[in-house]
Amino acid sequence: MFQLLSKHSFYLVRTYTDRVFLGFESPSGELQLYPYSLDGELGEELKFSKQEPIRRIYLRRGLWLIQYEGASKEDTHVYSIEGVWQQTIPHMHAGLYILPTKKDWVYLVNARFVKYNLFTHEYQDLGQFSLKKPFLYKGSHCGLHFFTCEGQSQLVAMRDRDGLGLEEVYRLDFAESGRGYSLWRRGVVPGEIEFINFYGSDLWVTTQKHLHRIDVATGKVLERKDETLPKMFIKGSLGYSLFGSYYTVFDFEAGRMLCDERRDNFVYEGKEYSAGYTSLLLHEGIFYVSVRVSGIFFLAAFDVQTEEFVWHDLWDGWDIDSVHIIGDRMIAHSYDEVRIYQRVSPTTGSSGDDSEQEGQVGPQWSQDKPK
């Protein structure tokens, strides 16, 4: 049945495999970070070697990458997951993109470009990154890394040069795809890349007005559709999204829209309300969604087979930012609140191997009550 765990006042959640870390801001404004066990216990605070307040913190592949305020703000400091110092990379500050490679190395990218070994902690400064800011990293697929730049009108595909850096493979310009008058900007704006979805050998790029299917390897535009596609959560060949007020299902194998309809009716305590959605996680056939109803917020579960909401929990006045599922626990985070849920024992829920099975209803979750 339902097991009650906890509700916490934390503003930061980081997870790595089955490990959870919660952080909050002390009265002096410093970030304090604690390991959290799925049994509900906070461990000892992680004491990093620097005393300055933390400005940015990343957890990647079991390593903390931290940038501080104060005298150390120009550098990035690397620590083990237990908080033991491993390396300092000088003059590597501001927001970081961390790009995977085939081996034990990653690339650290902002205005500068650094190659870093996750195990030996060696690093190599590769100088200035070839793209001028502002640019956004959109992910990797089929051995290529994808960035948007030039006001998000251009898509740049880059590949690894055997650990010597990245080289440009192709660049696509979408400035004319979606160019038009913007009421918000009060003028004509160029086409901009709004969403990118990866599937097989295809890259699906959405601008304000069009959807483009592109061959990943060559950059050749294979087709253009007069429709748009939000960021999709893909299971098998189907992509799902609850975004804004719309529910979208797209068959990537066939290149065909199966559903794109308004689903803004959300039922709470027997009454229907107009709602907006933000998709957070697709897990075992269940969509975990942040729901906004006139300044009221819910974490909700939507079964993609029955196409119905099967559970919801009322939150305070902020969108839910993230959901993490580890074993039989679900950790949800919104602004300065973290809630831990425990899965109900399996009933007719979706299978644990994420496979398609007919007639299933997704797992349900019980809300933890504060101790």
**pLDDT tens-digit readout, 316-371:** 888 999 999 998 889 999 998 999 998 876 443 332 333 222 222 233 334 443 33
Each residue of 142-175: pLDDT tens digit?
999 999 998 889 999 999 998 889 999 999 999 9
**What is the pLDDT, as a whole number, of residue 219?**
97
Each residue of 280-316: pLDDT tens digit?
999 999 999 999 998 899 999 999 999 999 999 999 8
**What is the pLDDT, as a whole number, of residue 71?**
66
In angstroms, rounded to a whole number, what is the distance separating the alpha carbons of residues 135 and 215? Answer: 22
Q: Is the pLDDT at 3 greater than 50, yes or no? A: no
- The CATH code for residues 1-13+231-371 is 2.40.128
Contact 107, 99 (CB under 8 A): yes
Provide the token pair at 81: 């997951």
Residues in the chain: 371
Confidence of residue 210 (pLDDT cuts 50, 70, 90): very high
What's the distance, CA 141 to chain centroid?
A: 16
Confidence of residue 38 (pLDDT cuts 50, 70, 90): confident
Number of neighbours of residue 116 by Cβ within 10 angstroms: 23
In angstroms, rounded to a whole number, what is the distance separating the alpha carbons of residues 102 and 123? Answer: 16
What's the distance, CA 295 to chain centroid?
A: 23
Contact 65, 96 (CB under 8 A): yes
Specify the 3-state DSSP secondary structure of 71: helix
Contact 145, 137 (CB under 8 A): yes
Each residue of 41-60: pLDDT tens digit?
889 999 887 778 888 899 99
∠ CA 368-298-331 to the nearest 5 degrees?
Answer: 40
Each residue of 267-288: pLDDT tens digit?
988 899 999 999 999 999 999 9
In angstroms, rounded to a whole number, what is the distance separating the alpha carbons of residues 95 and 109? Answer: 9
Contact 103, 115 (CB under 8 A): no
Q: Is the pLDDT at 13 greater than 50, yes or no? A: yes
**What is the pLDDT, as a whole number, of residue 6?**
80
Contacts for 250-258: CB closer than 8 Å, 24+ residues apart = 252/197, 252/199, 252/200, 252/202, 252/204, 253/199, 253/200, 255/213, 255/223, 257/227, 257/229
Provide the token pair at 259: 């559903």
Provide the token pair at 154: 């251009």
Lowest average pLDDT, out of 43-57, 75-89, 108-122, 189-203, goes to 43-57
Query: Minimal CA–CA distance to 367: which of 331, 319, 335?
Result: 331
**What is the pLDDT, as a whole number, of residue 352?**
31
Contact 86, 80 (CB under 8 A): yes
* Residues 197-210, mean pLDDT to the nearest whole number: 95
**What is the pLDDT, as a whole number, of residue 183?**
67
Backbone angles phi, psi at 66, to 5 degrees: -125, 140
Q: Is the pLDDT at 212 greater than 90, yes or no? A: yes
**What is the pLDDT, as a whole number, of residue 361?**
28
Q: Where are the domains of the chain?
A: 1-13+231-371
Provide the token pair at 293: 């109803």
**What is the pLDDT, as a whole number, of residue 164?**
87
Each residue of 100-128: pLDDT tens digit?
887 889 999 988 999 999 999 999 999 99
Q: Is the pLDDT at 182 greater than 50, yes or no? A: yes
Q: Label residues 281-307 b or e (16+ Cβ within 10 Å = b).
A: bbbbbbbbbbbbbeeebbbbbbbbeee
Contacts for 157-164: CB closer than 8 Å, 24+ residues apart = 157/216, 157/219, 160/101, 160/102, 160/107, 163/101, 163/103, 163/105, 163/115, 164/126
3-state DSSP helix/strand/coil % of the chain, to nearest 5: 0, 55, 45
